[in-house]
Structure 1
Amino acid sequence: MHPLPLIAPNPPRLSEHADALRRLEASGVFSNNGPEVQAFESEVTDALFDGMGATLAVANATLGLMIALREAVGPATPPPGTLALMPALTFAATAQAAIWAGLTPLICDIDPDDWSASAAAEDALLSRYGDRIGAIVPYATFGNAIDLDRYIALNQRRGVGVVVDAASSLGTRDDAGVGFGAASPFATVYSMHATKTFAVAEGGLIHCGNPDRIARLRAMASFGFEQCRIASLPGLNAKLPEVLALMARLKLAEIGTVCERRAALESAYRGALDGFQLQRVAGRSRASQFMPVVLPPHLALHRDAIAAMLADRQIGCGRYFSPHLGQQPLFQQTALIEPTPVADRIADAMLSLPLTDTMSVDDVARVTDALNHACRAVDARSVPVAPVATSRAIANVVVIGGGPAGSAILLAAGTKGLLPSLASGLVMVERDEAIGGGQLGRYAITSDTTADTFLSAVRGSTHPQIVALADHPAARAVAQHSGALGVPLTEVGPLLRETGRRLTTLIRDHGGTVLTGHEALGATRRADGLWSVRLRRLSDGAEVEQIARNLVIAAGGHQPLDRLSTQVVAGGRLIDMAGGRLLQSDEVLSVGGFEKVADLLAGRRAPRVAVIGGSTSAAATLFSLLKGRPAIPFGAGALTLLHREPLRPFFPSVAAAAADGFSDFGPDDICPVSGFVYRLAGFRLEARELMLRMLGVDGRQPDPRVTLHRIRGDDDADAREIMERADLVIAALGYRPVGLPLSDAAGNAIALAAHGGAPMVDRHCRVMGDDGEPVPGLYGIGLAAGFVPWGHLGGEKSFRGQANGLWLWQNDVGLMIVQQLLGEAQQVAA
């Protein structure tokens, strides 16, 4: 029985082409774009790309990607933090090339069918990061002919550079029967490595429909020389030697036959592989390098055993690309990584089967028979996997929600060395595919938290993995805003997600469980005092019961629509006064929200907007409308803020307030711990600057486009008229906690104080029942929880409301919960 290796390199044999070698030697040229390179470039353009555009041969595809990416982002050195958007399921060279080109990889999820970059993920990240994305690097997965028209449209509409990584696609033909990448306006980079279908020894190829771009790339591949030995472009030495160009010419002569033979083998595989997920193929034909298959979920855990059984039968296999980019240590340190649930699933279950030039259809049958036999053998001896794997029969605590508030508990524990003790009895449940970020990164506004606050939890940790985050690109992007009025939340999200990824590892290393992609359906307090929490996996609906001694609700807040139908403002029902012109501030502040407002106001010569509320979100809404681009033509008095309570700016001290000429405060408005004026009630950062202007503090001039109107009691006709005349009414009325159905042992609903509009938690973060007593073993933290600082936490006596601050959550408030969860004995042991 002959071996069937996964890959059997089959480059041209130079020993059989002595005349060609003598021709090369007689030319006296061995590099520097000699006659063999020039002939190959011309021949391959005609043979594979129907004579369209131009082609550049390079020493290898990685160098080709490096110069193509550098050219795509423009002649100037890219600013630090410029991103290269790419899919997770690709070879390391894609991300390495971006790093060498001065870019930070931004890794996104993939399409579940064709395994290329997810269009939805790309669109979301282009909207979130905007001009920070200097280039998109789609990967033509396993030689597939991906949709280049989509990237042409993105290139034209957004002005973002595009470089296609088509390492395995030299020889692939698109739906029109033309070589993949022909005539595209951007660079498409192919490999001619010995392991590829277009096997040479080493080498790469760049094709583009724009000959001028190829001319620039040719200069960059030769030290940036546009003129004789004068560098005018960034460059390096990426020239293809003549002997490799000769081999490439010989391979070009046979590539059509090679691809046809491999296509027949792939067809045989597809006819014999039942029960496996196969890649959805695009294009008329492709230069298949191997046959990728995805094992069924119940067999994916046994992939190594299946591969070993194939090896016993002298059949090679691979695991391209597992681990994918987002799972590799270098890129976890240097890239921004989005949640990649599809790539995780595909990579963990991927198996690559042999497909070589010397194989026959009978060999394919041998491989598929062996694979099916191995799967049956593993299946027969496998123990069924539980629908949801949790850490223990009884957890000490289940945390519902792994966003900024839920993760803050972990960070607070980490600052005191308590995280291992907390993690050992922890089950964290999060709907998203990663913990840490929650919904924070989807807001297109600047935070009311400073850059140093976001970084303090990283720097103050007792865990080296967390401290090391300070040097991560996500942390450096946030640090660039030190001293500024907040940080764009779209840049905060990656830092929180990377923090969450490292916290996940720490939790699991210490015996805890993180269930991403899960939701809590409800919880019952049993007669024995334990909580029974019903969890559901979102991917397939599988449910499980988790028993816990304690439960922490950190599910965040929302702006419920039903509130609008009953909300009364200035003596009138809001829905009656605003009707179809009513939005909630959350819609406006999210990514794409400004564009939605601009669209709704389009065509109005003098648009008018009323914003209702005196909170930070109300001020952020105003600020977003004022600074959005392209600007909405707001005239004088076009924006009106309707508020009930006085608008108070924060000051770091009484002296600072006096220096600014602000005196509208008394002793009860000063925090006794910090000395801050309006520590809790005061607007901060951008919102503060806007309010200082509007209040005319220290001679500041109000923005003429904004008017303040303090609502006078329950019958303010002027306020009602403002809302009725407005083209849009935006309700910034705060948030309510996301609820979790709770019941007692008898099945009766547990009524909470929050159901009646009271704060959800007391001063110890214990969730309160409607009887005014804390519900045993139940805690809450986060947006809309209603916590009010007290004692050593500080705060002014006059404050009425709730305090929501990441610093508080990650420090005193989070630690307060941790201490109650662990108890005194466990804290001493820790």
Structure 2
Amino acid sequence: MRYPLIAPNPPRLSEHVAALRRVEASGVFSNNGPEVRAFEAEATAQLFGGQGACLAVGNATLGLMIAIREAAGEHVAGRFALMPALTFAATAQAALWAGLTPLICDIDPADWTASGAAEERLLRDYGDRVAVILPYATFGTAIDLDRYAWLQREHGVGVVIDAAASLGTLDEGGAGFGTGAPFATVYSMHATKTFAVAEGGLIHSGDTRLIDRLRAMTNFGFEAGRSATLPGINAKLPEVIAVMARAKLAEIDAVCDHRAALEAAYRAQLEAVSFQAGQGQRRASQFMPILLPEGLAHRRDAIGAALAAEGIGSGRYFSPHLGEQPLFRRTATILPTPVADAVAGRSLSLPITDAMTVADVTVIATAFNRILAAEARVPARARTNPIASLLIVGGGPAGTAMLTAASKRGRLAELAASGIVIAERDDALGEGRIGRYAITSDSTAETFLSAVKDNPHPELAALVDHPAGRAVGQYVGALGVPLVEAGPFVRATGERLHALVRQHGGTVLTGHEVLHTTRTTGGLWSSRLRRRADGQEFDQLSSAVLVATGGHQPLDRLAAQRVGGVSLVQEVGDRLMQSDEALALGGPQKIVDLLSTKRNPKIVVIGGSTSAIATIVLLLKTQAIPLGAGAITLLHRRPLRPFYPTPEAALAEGFTDFGPDDICPVSGFVYRLAGFRLEARDLVLRQLRVDGRVPDPRLTVHQVSGDDDAIARAHLAGADLVIAALGYRPRALAIHDSDGRNVALAAHHGAAMVDRHCRILDASGTAIPGLYGIGLAAGFVPWGKLGGEASFSGQANGLWQWQNDVGAMIVDQVLGDAARAVA
């Protein structure tokens, strides 16, 4: 006998001919006809005790879209929909269609619903930028709606419950899940659900006026007549589907009771697995979700194949979860989700269908227990990967820049053949987060194209004529390249590098993350890797490790930061935003929305870095912000310096604020490292009034003099929005010594992560043999033949440097060590 995971069982239309004739006779086939209205009234009475009202819709995704849009209110630009990682893609898709950015948080390890602590922390951190909370009643469970009603009141936030699989679920009090809730609860009636029709959805709320508004939104926003007064779409349920829904309603209690008995039998008979903590009196079970033992998560595919061989279907809901899907990695704000990662990596679903019996559950459970026991007896086999010369942790712009440096010197084949391994979290090399920012690069189009132009590898050289290369080429001679254009080019370069590394004997592991690395007694590095798809972990030995994991703006730095003698967090509070958020795609829209009620908004930007000036440039370009004279204030400590190609060029414009130590001895550039370039340079030159330039009247610049700066404090107190551009800290990899103890790094104490040879430093400032770092926030400062002015203090982050001398420095050390090891 075969047991499919899901066996759709909608009512048979052939058994409801009289109802179909009734529809034909009415002449109404849509537009909230009599069958739809009858179904809504019957559902309200039977499922929700006559409380509130119901609205039938074309499908649950449409229901989510209109409910989210209504709950968010008029202003959606730049605002968030807070949702858990473990849910179906439709949840986040509906938020995107409603104009919101998904804000994805972790889940509770017991019931697999949104983590309450994470939700409340994000509501505090993001304030009214969270337009809607969008919890998911995971796998048909009954979540605590009273808590969400409290959050709605406490934070003034919209709430929409995604209860796609919960139509027929009973809460703790025995009422239909969602009964009387003050917000919209959205259910699915898809053919695969327990409440199976063909396609359709249902929205319930205790607020009948809310249902009336949503009904108008399903009909193009027509509240009266044919004039749109609300955001709208066509989301109405056809009359024929309503016939099926009424028939399903008549049997739903019996269907759910039967499925609940099957779930109880599974829970009694399955061995060595974990179950979702149950809530409510009865779940409308669509299938039986379980978690495999941690040690067998990597065998999930094999377990599924063994079940299939015995005629038993299985599934993996929801793996990958939202935070692991490419679209949402590009468009959403994703918080760390370790619990969702673990649950998704271990999840497996077993059949629950209307046709099954408890005896069938016994058959399936017996087979499953036997298969699981057999898998547990299979001895764990260590990966037989040879010892790598180098493990590259991170295949984004910095990690692939080192490969580019090798390719430009004709050493990529040699490097790959030495046995390198690249581990990258995303599904492809190259892009990282570079394409997710709304700003123009501080590197020219010529710099981006120099990575491939005339490259010894024809596959790379051809990228100049690739569509992504041509898109970047349009900006030759311009002040930088929009990063949304640069991202696809860097990704295309990464794809070619991926192929070349594999072609010459290297290993590329996309979809993998490196958890930590440990020094072995033999002097090698043993790094623990995890495959994100299923949680499988394994160790990789290598002679060296290159950390290219990028940088971030930690919240704890804000908590400790003082400006003008006051605590930034205490003084500014919920008016504070970090520059990384402001510069990201959607950042300008968030700022527009935050300032929408301000007639003459005041914005303070803190910092003297490139990101600070880039933030101001972006604000000045955002026409939707009504910026008057002095609307933006830059608070900075160090003098603002423009880049010049020669001292003569600087003097020709009357810029004299430099000396011999400010001139690079290699290139002759003035402020080669400290100077602003491209768009940022133009703005700085205007503010310094160089060569008769006129400052932008919308911008005021104030150099903070010390810890008792009353002017800085006054600007902070009067600001409607404060954007902190305090630089980036490295995402340093956890490093253990040969005894398994954590190694404290210089980066942990605010110092540079690497020395002048790109070697990672411990807390005492000593280089750790075999560990290298590159990229944003690594803290490398060019020296010697690499150039740079003697007066420079800080860190240099430049794609050109990484793709040339800095990357080549690491390549030479790795290949030199490899050659010595062979000798």
- Say what the alpha-carbon RMSD is for the aligned residues: 6.6
Give the structure 2 partner of residue 116 of structure 1. Answer: 113
Q: For residue 282 of structure 1, what is the amino acid of its counterpart?
A: Q
Alpha carbons 2:516, 2:734 under 8 Å: kept: no
Distance 1:176 1:267, change over 3 A: same
Deviations 1:696-738 (A, max 9, x none): 766878999986587xxxxxxxx79879x9999x998998997
Deviation at 1:45, TM superposition (A): 1.8
Distance 1:495 1:691 in 2: 29
What does residue 680 of structure 1 align with?
673
2:179 equivalent in structure 1: 182
The 5 Å alignment of 1:96-495 reads 96-98=93-95, 109-118=106-115, 137-148=134-145, 151-152=148-149, 162-231=159-228, 233=230, 235-325=232-322, 341-380=338-377, 382-386=378-382, 389=383, 392-399=385-392, 405-406=398-399, 408-410=401-403, 422=415, 425-427=419-421, 449=442
* Contact 1:617–1:734 under 8 Å retained in 2: no
Residue equivalent to 1:62: 61
Whole-angstrom distance in 2 between the partners of 1:119 and 1:440: 32
Which of 538, 542, 547 lines up with 1:548 in the alignment? 542
Shift, 1:168, TM fit = 0.8
CA distance in 2: counterparts of 1:154 and 1:348, whole angstroms: 31
The yes-or-no answer on 1:34 pairing with 2:26 is: no
Q: What is residue 761 of structure 1 aligned with on the other side?
A: 755
Whole-angstrom CA distance in 2 between matches of 1:139 and 1:415: 50
The letter for the 1-side match of 2:64 is: L
Correspondence for 1:532 among 500, 524, 537: 524
1:594-643 deviations in whole A, cap 9, x for unaligned?
Answer: xxxxxxxxxxxxxxx9x9x988799999999xxxxxxxxxx9xx999777
Contact 2:553 2:580 in 1 (8 A): no
Map 1:603-614; keep pairs closer than 5 Å. none
Q: Which range moves more in the overlay, 183-192 or 147-156?
A: 147-156
Q: Please, which moves more after superposition, 411-420 or 675-684?
A: 411-420
Aligned to 1:600: none
2:4 matched residue in structure 1? 5
- Distance in 1, matches of 2:109 and 2:401, equals 33
Deviation at 1:255, TM superposition (A): 2.0
Asked if 1 retains the 8 angstrom alpha-carbon contact of 2:10 and 2:191, the reply is yes
- Mapped partners of 2:287, 2:734: distance in 1: 49
Name the stretch that deviates more: 659-668 or 458-467: 458-467
Deviation at 1:58, TM superposition (A): 1.8
Change (3 A) 1:809 1:282: farther
Change in CA separation of 1:704 and 1:89 when aligned onto 2, cut-off 3 Å: closer
| 1: CA distance, partners of 2:552 / 2:151 | 33
Q: Deviations over 1:320-348 (max 9, x none)?
A: 33444555666677767666554444334
User: 1:289: Cα distance to partner?
Assistant: 1.1
Shift of 1:392: 2.8
User: 1:194-235: per-residue Cα shift (whole Å, max 9, x none)?
Assistant: 322112233211223443443333233334444444455554
**Distance of 1:322 and 1:737 partners within structure 2:** 26
Give CA deviations for 1:448-485 in whole Å, capped at 9, x if unaligned.
Answer: 956979987999896799999999xxx99xx9xx9699
Q: Distance in 2 between matches of 1:252 and 1:360?
A: 22
* Structure 1 counterpart SS, 2:524: strand
* Alignment partners' CA distance in 1, 2:124 and 2:441: 22
Instruction: Name the structure 1 match of 2:507.
Output: 511
State how far apart, in whole Å, the 2-side matches of 1:151 and 1:823 are.
60
Distance 1:739 1:537, change over 3 A: closer
Change in 2 beyond 3 A, CA 1:522/1:709: same
The offset of 1:48, in angstroms, is 2.0
Residue 628 of structure 1 is matched in structure 2 by none
- Cα gap change, 1:802 to 1:61, in 2 (>3 Å): closer
> Cα offset for 1:395?
0.9
Structure 1 residue 821 corresponds to structure 2 residue 814: yes
Q: CA deviation at 1:187?
A: 3.1
Secondary structure, counterpart of 1:302 in structure 2: helix
SS in 1 for 2:507: coil
1:546–1:3 CA distance, 2 compared to 1 (3 A):
closer
Asked if structure 1 preserves the Cα contact closer than 8 Å seen for 2:190 and 2:196, the reply is: yes
Contact 1:173–1:284 (Cα < 8 Å) also in 2: yes
Contact 1:761–1:779 (8 Å) recurs in 2: no
Instruction: Note if contact 2:452-2:464 (Cα within 8 Å) is conserved in structure 1.
Output: yes
* Aligned partner letter, 2:295: H
- Identity value in percent: 54
* TM superposition shift of 1:56: 1.3
How much does 1:356 deviate? 2.5
Q: Which amino acid aligns with 1:9?
A: P
Greater Cα shift, 86-95 or 203-212: 86-95
Aligned counterparts of 1:320 and 1:785: Cα–Cα separation in 2: 42
**Equivalent residues of 1:459, 1:470 under 8 A apart:** no
Matched letter for residue 6 of structure 1: L
Q: Structure 1 CA distance, aligned partners of 2:489 and 2:278?
A: 36
SS in 2 for 1:375: helix
Tell me which amino acid in the other structure corresponds to 2:54. Answer: T
Partners in 1 of 2:666 and 2:357 — Cα distance?
80
Distance 1:249 1:708 in 2: 71
Say if 1:211 and 1:790 are closer, same or farther in 2 by CA, change over 3 A: farther
In structure 1, C-alpha distance between the alignment counterparts of 2:126 and 2:676, rounded to whole Å: 27
Question: In structure 2, what is the equivalent of residue 50 of structure 1?
Answer: 49
For the 8 Å contact 2:530–2:537, the answer to whether it is kept is no
Deviation of 1:7 (Å): 2.7
Change (3 A) 1:775 1:708: closer
Task: Show the counterpart of 1:795.
Answer: 788
Q: 1:408 to 1:470 in 2, by over 3 A?
A: farther
**Any idea what the Cα deviations from partners look like across 1:343-377, whole Å, max 9, x if unmatched?**
44433432222222343333322221121112123
Q: Following TM superposition, by how much is the alpha carbon of 1:287 offset from its aligned partner in structure 2, in angstroms?
A: 0.9
Deviation at 1:501, TM superposition (A): 11
CA distance in 2, matches of 1:735, 1:259: 52
Q: Does the Cα contact within 8 Å between 1:429 and 1:520 map onto a contact in 2? A: no
Q: Aligned partners of 2:65, 2:366: CA distance in 1, in Å?
A: 42
C-alpha separation in 2, matches of 1:464 and 1:339: 38
**Unpaired stretches in structure 2, ≥5 consecutive residues:** 555-560, 571-575, 583-603, 619-629, 717-723
Letter in 2 for 1:7: I
Q: Could you tell me which residue of structure 2 aligns to residue 568 of structure 1?
A: none
Please give the alpha-carbon distance, in whole angstroms, between the structure 1 residues aligned to 2:315 and 2:663. 66
Instruction: Pick which of 494-503 and 330-339 moved more.
Output: 494-503
Residue type of the partner of 1:271?
A: A
Cα pair 1:455 1:470 within 8 Å, conserved: no
Q: Residue 515 of structure 2 aligns to which amino acid in structure 1?
A: H
Corresponding residue for residue 632 of structure 1: none
Contact kept in structure 1, 2:480 and 2:679, CA below 8 Å: no
Q: 1:66 to 1:705 in 2, by over 3 A?
A: closer
Q: Which moved more, 1:647-656 or 1:138-147?
A: 647-656
Counterpart contact for 2:516–2:735, Cα < 8 Å: no
Distance 1:212 1:250 in 2: 27
